[in-house]
Structure 1
Amino acid sequence: MKKGAFLLILSFLSFHLYAQNSSQNTLTLKQTKVDASCGTCQFKLEGNTCLLAIKYKGKAYFVDGTGIDDHGDAHGKNGFCNAVRKAVVSGTIENGRFKSTSFVLKSTKK
């Protein structure tokens, strides 16, 4: 009986610790101001093509849910490959990538 209770408690603790580790890998952003640009050209992320990325708290993340050309010509004067822009985003950072549910690019001042 004592063995069974011990195993039950041990199982519960193991499950609890596992659940905590997986939730620490996800960070939710809600209407958060970030830098946005090409991850390979401006943020020096590894890759062979131009891909949209954000920088949050000093760390860059590739973006899923919207693309680099969805916000104008990436290679234009103020495009993501030539400039770092400001954006307000919502979504989650999971497994080293930003999963966007909202991505609003701020206009450039003239």
Structure 2
Amino acid sequence: MKKFLFVLMLGFSMIAFGQKLENKVVEVGCGMCQYDLKTDKGCHMAINYGGKIYHVEGIDKKVFGDAHASDGYCMMKKQARVSGQIKGSKFHATRFAYLEKPVK
């Protein structure tokens, strides 16, 4: 019974407080253009973590570069090293840096 309560409390804390990502390499791209998110009303950076897509919040859009340039995040998926916290459908980033090679 104690193990069950521990697992239940651990699961609740993950939902209530979100999941922290520290120095993780993830796939990134435009939620609308690259991940076909129909709820988007424009281009918005998103990450793919664990097979789920999360909007990126908390980072100035200038960090992402020109979305519609030939190598922009609307044109191709890339990899980035990120830190932050997943809360609901959003990733609240504290760190975001592209890696050199794009995702094929």
* Band of TM-score, shorter chain: 0.7 to 0.9
Structure 1: which 5+ runs fail to align? Answer: 1-12
Aligned Cα root-mean-square deviation (Å): 2.1
Match of 2:34 among 8, 22, 42: 42
Specify the alignment match of 1:51 in structure 2.
44
Specify the alignment match of 1:95 in structure 2.
88
The alignment partner of 1:70 has SS state of helix
Matched pairs, number: 93
Residue 65 of structure 1, CA deviation: 1.1
Structure 1 segments of 4+ aligned residues over 3 angstroms from their partners: 17-20
Paired AA for residue 79 in structure 1: G
Structure 2: which 5+ runs fail to align? Answer: none
Residue 108 of structure 1, CA deviation: 3.5
- CA deviation profile, 1:74-97 (whole Å, cap 9, x unmatched): 001110000000000000000110
Highest Rg: 1 or 2? 1
Residue 91 of structure 1 contacts residue 102 of structure 1 at CA under 8 Å; is this kept in 2?
yes
TM-score for both structures, normalised by structure 1: 0.75
- CA deviation profile, 1:31-65 (whole Å, cap 9, x unmatched): 00100100111011221110010000111100001
TM-score for both structures, normalised by structure 2: 0.79
Cα distance in 1 for residues equivalent to 2:9 and 2:20? 19
User: Does residue 24 in structure 1 map to residue 14 in structure 2?
Assistant: yes
